[in-house]
C-alpha cells in the first residue's frame, strides 16, 4: 500500500477547486499581451485609493507577525455592521470561514444541505470532512429564478443527521437570489440545532428592494452564520480576507479551529481602509449595474439566453457551442468561466468587466458566433 492509499478516502476522491485561468498563464501560452480576464468576478475598477495608501505603510512591518485577533479590523467591522466584535470571525477569504464552519460541525456521522447549482466550495468542505451531502434539486429553467435555490426542496432533504445548511444569496454561478420574506420563513422552520450559513459574498453589489440583509436576523436566530468577503466589490481578492458574523458562542467555536495568523498584515490593513471608502463601493455598484445592463442588451439583441443576475457576472447559455466559444475566446486573449463542473455544460459565466473589456469580448463573439 502506498502513502497515497493511506490518505482518507474522502480526500483521495476530492476534486481540487478549479479557479479562473490567470491572465499571465494565457499570455505565456499564446505569446500575447493585453489579455483580459472575465472569469473570476473581480472588480474591474480595482480597489480604493485608500487601500493603496495604507498598503505602502503596512508593508514596512511584514517582518512581524500580524495581529492574530484582527482587533482593529473587527472593531471597524463591528461599527459598520452594527454588531459586536465577539461576533466576528476573520478568514483567509470567506472560503476559509466556510471551511471553519464545516470543520466545527461536520464529520462522517453528519450531513449538510446545499442546492444543486450552489457554490462549489460547499461540496468540497463537506466531502473533506467526510460528511454526507444532501443536495436539493434547484429551480427549473422556466422559474423566476432559473436554476436558483428551491427552499421547499432544501427543507425536504433535511434529515436527523443534518448539521449545516449552506445558502448563497446571491448564488454563484447562477446569480440568482432569495427574497427576504421567503428566506426568513425558511430560517424560522429549520430546527435550532442546525447551523444555517448565508453566504453573502456579493451582498454589496445587490440593489433590489426585497433582497435581505441577513445580519438583522442574528439576534433571533443563534444558529445563523453570515459570511462576506473583501474579494468582490472591495477589489482585494489577491490579499485573501473575508469574515463571518454569528452569535458570540459560534464565533468562539470557529476561533478554536481557525489557524493562527490567517489574516496577514497587508490584508488586515487593506480591509480596514476599504471599509472607509463608501464612495468607491457606490461607484463600483453603479458601474456594475451599468455593465450588467450593457451585457444583457447585447445578449438580448443576439438571441442568447442568460440567467438574471444580482451579482457582478452573467451566466449565458451558448448551448452545445459553449466549449467551442470558451476556447475561441481564449485564443483571442479573453478568459471567461466554463461551468461544466457544475453540470451546466451549456453555459459560460462572464464577469462584468469595464466597458472597453466588454466591447472587446463582444467584438470577438460577433466573429466566433
* Statement: the pTM of the whole predicted model exceeds 0.85: yes
> Quick check: 294 and 301 in contact, CB under 8 A?
no
Other CB atoms within 10 A of residue 26 CB: 18
| Mean pLDDT, residues 306-323 taken together | 97
Q: Is the pLDDT of residue 179 over 70?
A: yes
Q: Is 82 exposed, middle or buried (0-12, 13-18, 19+ CB in 10 A)?
A: exposed
The per-residue pLDDT for 121 is 97
The backbone torsions φ and ψ at residue 276, rounded to the nearest 5 degrees and listed phi first, read -85, -10
- Torsion angle of C-alpha atoms 300, 301, 303, 309, degrees rounded to 10: -20
Give the residues across from 117 on adjacent strands: none
The SS3 assignment for 130 reads coil
Which CATH code, of 3.90.1150.10, 3.40.50.300, 3.10.20.340, 3.20.20.70, is assigned to 9-46+279-368? 3.90.1150.10
pLDDT for 26 equals 86
Q: How far apart, in Å, are the Cα atoms of 64 and each of 255, 261, 362?
A: 21, 11, 47
User: pLDDT at position 296, please?
Assistant: 98
14 band by pLDDT with thresholds 50, 70 and 90: low
State the sign of the Cα–Cα–Cα–Cα dihedral 340, 342, 345, 349: negative
Cβ(116)–Cβ(138) under 8 Å?
Answer: yes
Spell out the domain ranges in the chain: 9-46+279-368, 49-275
- Size (the chain), residues: 369
Strand partners, 337: 349
What does CATH list as the number for 49-275? 3.40.640.10
pLDDT tens, 42-70? 999 999 999 999 999 999 999 999 999 99
Burial 319-345 (b: 16+ CB within 10 A, else e): eeebeebbebbbebbbbbbbbeebebe
Distance CA 237, CA 282 (A): 18
Q: Give the residue ranges of DSSP H helices in the chain.
A: 9-12, 23-30, 49-58, 71-81, 94-105, 120-128, 151-156, 180-189, 248-257, 265-275, 278-301, 322-331, 355-368
- The SS3 call for residue 109 is coil
Are 263 and 36 spatial neighbours (Cβ–Cβ below 8 Å)? no
DSSP class of 137: P
Q: Tell me what pLDDT residue 23 has.
A: 85
Instruction: Please give the share of the chain, as a percent, with pLDDT higher than 70.
Output: 97
* Per-residue pLDDT tens digits for 104-161: 999 999 999 999 999 999 999 999 999 999 999 999 999 999 999 999 999 999 999 9
d(CA 276, CA 70): 16
Query: For residue 237, what pLDDT band results from cuts at 50, 70 and 90?
Result: very high
Q: Within a 13 Å sphere around the CA of 115, how many CA atoms are in the beta-carbon half?
A: 28
Mean pLDDT calculated for residue range 328-355 = 96
Amino acid at each position: 500500500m502506498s502513502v497515497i492509499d493511506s490518505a482518507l478516502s474522502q480526500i483521495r476522491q476530492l476534486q481540487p477547486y478549479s479557479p479562473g485561468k490567470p491572465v499571465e498563464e494565457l499570455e505565456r501560452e499564446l505569446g500575447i499581451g493585453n489579455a483580459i480576464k472575465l472569469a473570476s468576478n473581480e472588480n474591474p475598477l480595482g480597489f480604493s485609493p485608500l487601500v493603496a495608501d495604507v498598503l505602502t505603510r503596512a508593508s514596512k512591518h511584514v517582518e512581524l507577525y500580524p495581529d492574530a485577533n484582527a482587533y482593529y479590523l473587527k472593531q471597524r467591522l463591528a461599527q459598520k455592521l452594527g454588531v459586536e466584535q465577539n461576533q466576528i470571525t476573520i478568514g483567509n477569504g470567506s472560503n476559509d470561514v466556510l471551511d471553519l464552519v464545516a470543520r466545527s460541525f461536520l464529520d462522517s456521522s453528519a450531513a449538510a444541505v446545499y442546492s444543486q447549482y450552489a457554490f462549489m466550495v460547499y461540496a468540497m468542505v463537506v466531502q473533506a470532512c467526510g460528511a454526507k451531502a444532501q443536495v436539493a434539486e434547484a429551480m427549473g429553467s422556466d422559474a423566476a429564478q432559473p436554476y436558483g435555490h428551491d427552499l421547499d426542496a432544501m427543507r425536504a432533504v433535511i434529515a436527523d443527521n443534518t448539521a449545516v445548511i449552506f445558502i448563497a444569496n446571491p448564488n454563484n454561478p447562477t446569480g440568482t437570489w432569495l427574497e427576504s420574506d421567503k428566506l426568513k420563513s425558511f430560517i424560522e422552520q429549520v430546527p435550532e440545532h442546525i447551523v444555517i450559513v448565508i453566504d453573502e459574498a456579493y451582498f454589496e453589489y445587490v440593489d433590489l428592494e426585497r433582497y435581505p440583509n441577513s445580519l438583522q436576523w442574528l439576534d433571533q436566530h443563534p444558529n445563523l452564520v453570515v459570511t462576506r468577503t473583501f474579494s468582490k466589490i472591495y477589489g482585494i481578492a489577491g490579499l485573501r480576507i473575508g469574515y463571518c458574523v454569528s452569535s458570540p458562542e459560534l464565533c468562539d467555536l470557529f476561533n478554536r479551529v481557525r489557524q493562527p495568523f490567517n489574516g496577514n498584515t497587508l490584508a488586515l490593513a487593506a480591509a480596514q481602509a476599504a471599509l472607509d471608502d463608501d464612495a468607491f463601493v457606490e461607484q463600483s455598484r453603479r458601474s456594475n449595474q451599468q455593465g450588467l445592463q450593457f451585457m444583457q442588451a447585447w445578449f438580448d439583441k443576439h438571441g442568447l439566453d442568460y440567467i438574471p443576475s444580482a451579482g457582478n457576472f452573467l451566466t449565458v447559455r451558448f448551448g452545445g457551442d459553449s466549449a467551442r466559444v470558451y476556447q475561441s475566446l481564449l485564443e483571442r486573449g479573453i478568459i471567461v468561466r466554463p461551468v461544466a463542473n457544475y453540470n451546466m455544460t451549456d453555459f459560460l459565466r462572464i464577469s462584468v468587466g469595464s466597458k472597453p473589456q466588454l466591447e472587446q469580448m463582444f467584438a470577438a463573439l460577433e466573429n466566433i458566433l
